[in-house]
Structure 1
Amino acid sequence: MNSASLYILSLSLISISLHAQQANIIFEGDTLGSNPLQEVVVTATRTDKKIEELPIPITTITSKEIKDRGMVRLNEILAEQTGLALVGDHGTGVQMQGFDAQYTMILIDGEPVIGRTSGTLELPRITMSNIDRIEIVKGPSSSLYGSEAMAGVINIITKTPKKGLSGELSTRYGTNESADVSIDAAFRTDKFSFSGFVNRFSNGGYSLMPETGFQTVAPFAAYTITGKTGYQFSEKTDLNVSLRYYDNSQDDRYAVESRAVSGVGLQRDFSFFPSLTHRFSDAHTSMLRFYRATYKTESSISYEDTEELYDETFFDQGFTRGEIQHDYTMRSNLVLTSGLGAQYETVEATRYDDKKSFNSGYAYAQLDWKLLDRFNIIAGGRYDMHNVYKSQFSPKLAASYRLNKKITFLASASRGYKAPDFRQLYLNFSNAVAGYSVFGYEDLQENLQRLQDEGQISEVLIDPSTLSKLNAESSWAYNIGVRMRPVDNLIANVNIFRNDVDNLISTASIAIKTNGQSVFSYFNRNAVFTQGTEADLTYLLSNTLEIGGGIQYLEAKDVDEWNMVKEGRAYTRDPETSQTVAVKRSEYGGLLSRSKYMANARISYLETRSGIRLSLRWNYRGRYGIRDVDGNGIINLDSEYVKGYSLFNGSISKSFLNNNLRLQFTADNMLGFTNEEYISYLPGRLLYAGLSYSFSK
């Protein structure tokens, strides 16, 4: 699809798309209020800035919206956002603008959440009970945040205590013995603040195939504990310290070669984040940050009949970073933000030969210039130095033009990158059951030679010495959009995007073992691209009724594969005639797990007399490729797709005692859709009842 057709499509989508993505109109007392474009966000620029002034696509989700929908985990709220798709690859992650989950950076209060054992960060680890809002920046953000932000950034911002004493107790219980209990308390004076939060989240597990006698998802119990304190030494100097601890224990049980195995899996992460802010003058402000995070997993699995150890694994990751940022207000309409920092990462794991480490340093600068109250330009870049891969420079240029009070045009161009991770460089894993092996690039030649010396290799397909050094993935991204408010009660947003990605890291079969299985490793692919259009709209029909929705059109293709199809060099076998035929352009499905169409709609209603709130939502994901049936290396047959599906969610709540007490019932996936073969994170219909009580003094 060329730029012209994308532009035409985007205009047509305005009339059919409904959703509150970049602008959330939320309940205020017994009516609906609407001033979302005045909301201040920080993720897009690392400084406070109103949404209406930002020249890049951003979504904000308030804590009130999350509560009104009855959601308690991060994956639940992200699943309902335009342009985001949940994926279940080694955990539940989120896909953005056609990028896999490993390309989206997840932050809490601006600092990264670690623990990507296989590239995907497990979203249900993060509770929504103590947050103020979520900010979602789409498109490469490497110019500010570095690696892992090639698709975008999701920043979870925790609550800032109100003055005085406040607190909340909330609980939710439902299907599969799912229980979520939270206690939140805070205290604030003119100079001192403290907040503490404790959450317990447990589930009895579920099975999508009960006939097997084993559960698809095992029972678990997880605890989250956070603390946040701040002290104002003077009008110019503030100190803030945050702590977070997460602990998850899971009872694993499954079958291996017709024998039952079981054991306990443990998962723990901890983070410590102090920051010191000093305002030298109205023009100069500096912030000194330190961040330390650890993530650990342990698993011990034994045969139930003999108690013999089947498998024992561990993963231990550490992340340390120091950074200083300085904001210089050169004029009232011109702000320079700059910073530099260094970070040190380590990992020890069963699948690595020894302790691995990365060292890196970086510097960034960004100029925010507002011209004539209509034209806003943001220009900047970041330079990253690394001890393993070559240095990277990630520039960004974005601009917005406010034509009038009703229409603002947006445009941006930026470069993103993602560094090879520990897994892609140093993994050393052989599956004892299936018989295959996976080696990281750095140790591939040594490990392959070892297998050859042991007589385990029957054929070498690719000589490791011919592979180029594994390089960082990089992309150029372009976003063009319009933000519209034709009338006070209507907000519409359209964004057209294109991402051209070089050096995409993929896996390949390097050799065939004598048991018929493969030896895999990682290499850089030539190029891929993703492009499409997102549109959303929110309309306040009355003070008590709001409708909204959105739609995304996406194309995600490998350039080499697409050229083969266009040139008639990709073939398949006709299922009716058994003859070899060329794959048609219309048959090429592009990259795996990408849906061409996604859509959502919602309606929110407040009955003012009784105070009952009702929320109904629909989410649709179109079909997507999942496997190569005919062996031609591409997706082109109907049998190679997962069929599209719809999910219907809803909630109803009523408040008592001056809105301090809330009773709520929620239903997710009301029609009970499941796909036991490919979508393990959808357990069917989920029903919950919740009760919460809050106070402030």
Structure 2
Amino acid sequence: MSSEPDGTFAIRQLAPGRYVLTASAPGFAPATEIVDAPAAALLNLTLVPAPIVEEVTVVSASRQQELRDTLNARVDVITRRRIDEAGGHETVAEVLRELPGVVTRRGSETAGAAGEQIQGIDSRQVLVLLDGQPIAGARGIKRGGVLNLDRQSTARLDRVEVVKGAASALFGSDAIGGVINLITREPSSPFDVTVALSGGNLGTMGARVDAGFKREKTFGLFSVERHQHDGFDLTPGTFDTTGAPYRRYDALAKAQRQLTPSFSLGGMVTGYRNHTRGRSNGELGPQEDDLRDRTVSANLTGRWIALGSTTVEARAYMSTYGENASGRLAPPRSTPLEPGMLEERFRKGDVTIARPLGSRHLLQAGLEWSRDQYEGTNRLRDEAGHAADTTVVWAQHRWSATNRLTTTIGARVDRRSRFETAVSPKLAASFRLTTSLNARASYGRGFRAPDLGQLYYRFLSPSNFYQVIGNPSLNPESADSWQFGAEYVAPQRRARVGVNAFRNDVRDLIDSVNLGFVATPSQLDQVIAREGLDPSFRPALGRLLLTYRNVAAAETQGVELDTDVALTNAISLGGAYTYLSARDTKSDLALTGRHPHQGHVRVSWRPVRSGFRASLRATFYSSWIATRTSTTGGGAQDTIASRFAMWDAFASQRLGRGVSAFLTIDNLANSQDENTGVMLPSRTPAPIYRPEAGRTARVGVAWSFSAR
């Protein structure tokens, strides 16, 4: 119930008994009191200002639940409260823009999926997890290994955890650049339900229904979402579209039961179905493209507490991904094009044991097995499919040497079919200088085995004159990562400032290489002999030929700064800045697609007892190398894209009876690539390096009910 404007309230017609009374207000910490009814006297509850810095429990640093303040390794966390206060964050890509050292690009299926960079390391080397399990999506087969984070909703999430630097010691292959762990929420009341509807320009519409319950030994969460977008076109003088229209459905069901005092069993099923339709200019002329993809994932987790303090966790996980691509030449020809089909099946099982030894030691160890399998039409060398098995053993020891110093040492051994055994060590330490100041240092080695796409891809593009074939002779990528940082949290947790210096050395980077246009059988034979290609891939004539090689080594280093401050009980300020130096160590050239400087500033306003909240965020990026071409003299010519800034605004108002309304405006200043709308002398559009749709607005209404 809501109080009067002066803070008084009365509860009438209450049955005699003892009750738990909780009072809360925006900007203040909740206060709880046990009361008897009928009350003997007027009860006073005093609320104190809420901390701007939450005490957050995370799992990504060690696979154990730990308070973030006590971690040896830095883990950046975006909590549910922060997502709600920022308001406009509907997707994971938007959330990640709040973190230092993380860059996400607003994208679409045809404009380029919204991938991520962590400390200058690309998305292919970053592992994305949902509740600690990998998200299936044909990583490495489509979109250059990018999982589209613009399509990952935040509605079902409790928080987003980001581990930076090589994290293979805990999470294995693909974690060279770091880990993004999406943690789903758990209900906190006997019953709650939320219904939300929103709409905006460009045909944007969203609908969501969440329902959850929590009993003494059981909880459950169910969520269904629908999203649609009509797409956009930054080159209206051409047939193709920049951002393709899509329709998407998401669903999640999660439950857990405490079967005995020492054993619990939980499970989750999640999936989506997406339909994207766009237009492109193909080698046979203008064409219409149709892509339908879907995924279903299921996870079963059992937890035992054995021998008093030993914890055993066993998990079984399976995930499937399917894609069907088709197209036709634009009317009036309407000739069907060759279809493509891809199926991925991923299965994984693991067991983890954690055992404390006294009050200062924690031992952890685990075993894992996984299989990743692909099959498809016009996507792989062998349409019958390819598979890779991985067997893992890992261990970690955490030692609280003193009340101030804590160290962690660990290692992971991966044995993957076709590749040599890889060992990934980890060292970390934290030292609490004062009650408010903590310092951390960590080292980790990571590796990434070539994915099945890089090994066995065979794709003849129906849209352009090129083909891509895999390379079964690739070597794994490897990396060494160092992180040094400190964090200060003010008394009463009303302010926080953090600094982190980093360096990542990556070797044997896998990249695509262009072997040129192959016109005749003799040219093809020469290329196969010169490059050592596998002729079973059956390269076609009359197309550019691209494949994969271990071609580069890179280093990324820099400094990250971030802060949060409560200026008043209603106004808070936050921001971050990252300096990045990223270079190819073989050519001594700067890496393309990296911003040397980037950051954001955010102000939030939440007046007390008004039901209103608003936020304004400015995100800025320095100029960067968009493309690089080789010159006749063996040098390189870079195309520099201009710096830019993005402003996003959000406001919401609580209307009463659980109803609230909101307004979000993204890209308030209508920032777009400077080549948008520019035509070259050849009467073709100038290249667009930043496919922003421009200013977009979205309005919505939500209704929530919670039974206490």
Q: Say whether 1:47 aligns with 2:77.
A: no
Q: Say whether 1:501 aligns with 2:529.
A: no
**Which residue pairs with 2:478 in the alignment?**
474
CA offsets, 1:670-697, max 9 Å, x none? 0111224434652110111121111111
**Which residue pairs with 1:453 in the alignment?**
none
Cα pair distance change 1:184/1:632, threshold 3 Å: farther
Structure 2 counterpart of 1:398, which letter?
Answer: A
Q: How far apart, CA to CA, are the structure 1 residues paired with 2:633 and 2:563? A: 39
SS in 2 for 1:441: coil
Q: Say whether 1:243 aligns with 2:269.
A: yes
SS in 1 for 2:98: coil
Give the deviation of 1:260 after TM superposition.
3.3
Q: What is the aligned-residue RMSD (CA, Å)?
A: 2.2
**Which residue pairs with 1:524 in the alignment?**
550
Cα pair distance change 1:241/1:617, threshold 3 Å: same
* Contact preservation (8 Å) 2:27, 2:570: no
Cα pair distance change 1:48/1:35, threshold 3 Å: farther
**Which residue pairs with 2:113 in the alignment?**
91
Q: Say whether 1:484 aligns with 2:483.
A: no
**Which residue pairs with 1:351 in the alignment?**
379
**Which residue pairs with 1:560 in the alignment?**
586
Give the deviation of 1:477 after TM superposition.
0.5
Give the deviation of 1:490 after TM superposition.
2.2
* Contact preservation (8 Å) 1:260, 1:305: no
Q: Say whether 1:591 aligns with 2:591.
A: yes
Q: How far apart, CA to CA, are the structure 1 residues paired with 2:28 and 2:334? A: 57
Question: Which has the larger displacement, 34-43 or 286-295?
Answer: 34-43
CA offsets, 1:95-142, max 9 Å, x none? 111111111111111101121223111112311111111111111111
* Contact preservation (8 Å) 1:592, 1:635: no
* Contact preservation (8 Å) 1:199, 1:225: yes
Give the deviation of 1:223 after TM superposition.
0.4
Give the deviation of 1:189 after TM superposition.
1.3
Q: Which residues of 2 match residues 292-303 of structure 1 at below 5 A?
A: 292-303=318-329
**Which residue pairs with 1:320 in the alignment?**
347
Q: Say whether 1:81 aligns with 2:79.
A: no
Q: Which residues of 2 match residues 69-148 of structure 1 at below 5 A?
A: 69-87=87-105, 90-115=112-137, 116=139, 117=142, 118-148=144-174
Q: How far apart, CA to CA, are the structure 2 residues paired with 1:136 and 1:634? A: 40
Q: How far apart, CA to CA, are the structure 1 residues paired with 2:294 and 2:633? A: 39
Q: How far apart, CA to CA, are the structure 2 residues paired with 1:326 and 1:696? A: 37
* Contact preservation (8 Å) 2:27, 2:606: no
Q: How far apart, CA to CA, are the structure 1 residues paired with 2:274 and 2:118? A: 27
Structure 2 counterpart of 1:41, which letter?
Answer: V
Structure 1 counterpart of 2:328, which letter?
Answer: S
Q: How far apart, CA to CA, are the structure 1 residues paired with 2:190 and 2:463? A: 59
Give the deviation of 1:526 after TM superposition.
4.8
Give the deviation of 1:523 after TM superposition.
1.7
* Contact preservation (8 Å) 2:52, 2:495: no
Q: How far apart, CA to CA, are the structure 1 residues paired with 2:519 and 2:485? A: 55
Cα pair distance change 1:634/1:145, threshold 3 Å: farther
Give the deviation of 1:436 after TM superposition.
3.2
**Which residue pairs with 1:575 in the alignment?**
none
Give the deviation of 1:39 after TM superposition.
1.4
Of residues 397, 413, 427 in structure 2, which corresponds to 1:397? 427
Give the deviation of 1:268 after TM superposition.
0.0
Cα pair distance change 1:689/1:521, threshold 3 Å: same
Give the deviation of 1:82 after TM superposition.
1.8
Question: Which has the larger displacement, 503-512 or 141-150?
Answer: 503-512
Of residues 547, 569, 573 in structure 2, which corresponds to 1:543? 569
SS in 1 for 2:273: strand
**Which residue pairs with 1:696 in the alignment?**
706
Compare the two structures and name the one with the higher helix fraction: 1
Structure 2 counterpart of 1:121, which letter?
Answer: L
* Contact preservation (8 Å) 1:31, 1:543: no
**Which residue pairs with 2:42 in the alignment?**
none
**Which residue pairs with 1:203 in the alignment?**
229
**Which residue pairs with 2:631 in the alignment?**
631
* Contact preservation (8 Å) 2:27, 2:569: no
* Contact preservation (8 Å) 1:499, 1:531: yes
**Which residue pairs with 1:451 in the alignment?**
none
Q: Say whether 1:60 aligns with 2:72.
A: no
SS in 2 for 1:309: coil
Structure 2 counterpart of 1:683, which letter?
Answer: A
Structure 1 counterpart of 2:476, which letter?
Answer: A
Unaligned runs of 5+ in 2: 1-25, 31-46, 521-541, 677-686
Give the deviation of 1:431 after TM superposition.
3.7
Q: How far apart, CA to CA, are the structure 2 residues paired with 1:484 and 1:537? A: 9
Unaligned runs of 5+ in 1: 1-24, 443-468, 563-587
Give the deviation of 1:80 after TM superposition.
3.1
The TM-score with structure 2 as length reference comes to 0.84
* Contact preservation (8 Å) 1:503, 1:525: yes
Instruction: Specify which structure has the bigger relative contact order, considering alpha-carbon pairs within 8 angstroms and separated by 6 or more residues.
Output: 1
**Which residue pairs with 1:649 in the alignment?**
648
Give the deviation of 1:26 after TM superposition.
7.6
SS in 2 for 1:76: helix
Cα pair distance change 1:342/1:681, threshold 3 Å: farther
Structure 2 counterpart of 1:34, which letter?
Answer: P
* Contact preservation (8 Å) 2:60, 2:75: no
Aligned-residue identity in percent: 27
Aligned pairs, number: 619
* Contact preservation (8 Å) 1:561, 1:634: no
Structure 2 counterpart of 1:371, which letter?
Answer: A
Give the deviation of 1:484 after TM superposition.
1.2
Q: Which residues of 2 match residues 64-463 of structure 1 at below 5 A?
A: 64-68=81-85, 69-87=87-105, 90-115=112-137, 116=139, 117=142, 118-256=144-282, 259-303=285-329, 304-349=331-376, 350-354=378-382, 355-431=385-461, 434-442=464-472
CA offsets, 1:196-220, max 9 Å, x none? 1000011111111223254322221
Give the deviation of 1:244 after TM superposition.
0.4
Structure 2 counterpart of 1:670, which letter?
Answer: L
SS in 2 for 1:143: helix
Q: Which residues of 2 match residues 606-621 of structure 1 at below 5 A?
A: 606-621=606-621
SS in 2 for 1:77: helix
Q: How far apart, CA to CA, are the structure 1 residues paired with 2:133 and 2:700? A: 31
Question: Which has the larger displacement, 81-90 or 233-242?
Answer: 81-90
Cα pair distance change 1:153/1:161, threshold 3 Å: same
CA offsets, 1:378-416, max 9 Å, x none? 111110001122111111000010111121111001101
The TM-score with structure 1 as length reference comes to 0.85
Give the deviation of 1:92 after TM superposition.
1.2
Q: Say whether 1:34 aligns with 2:68.
A: no
* Contact preservation (8 Å) 2:510, 2:552: no
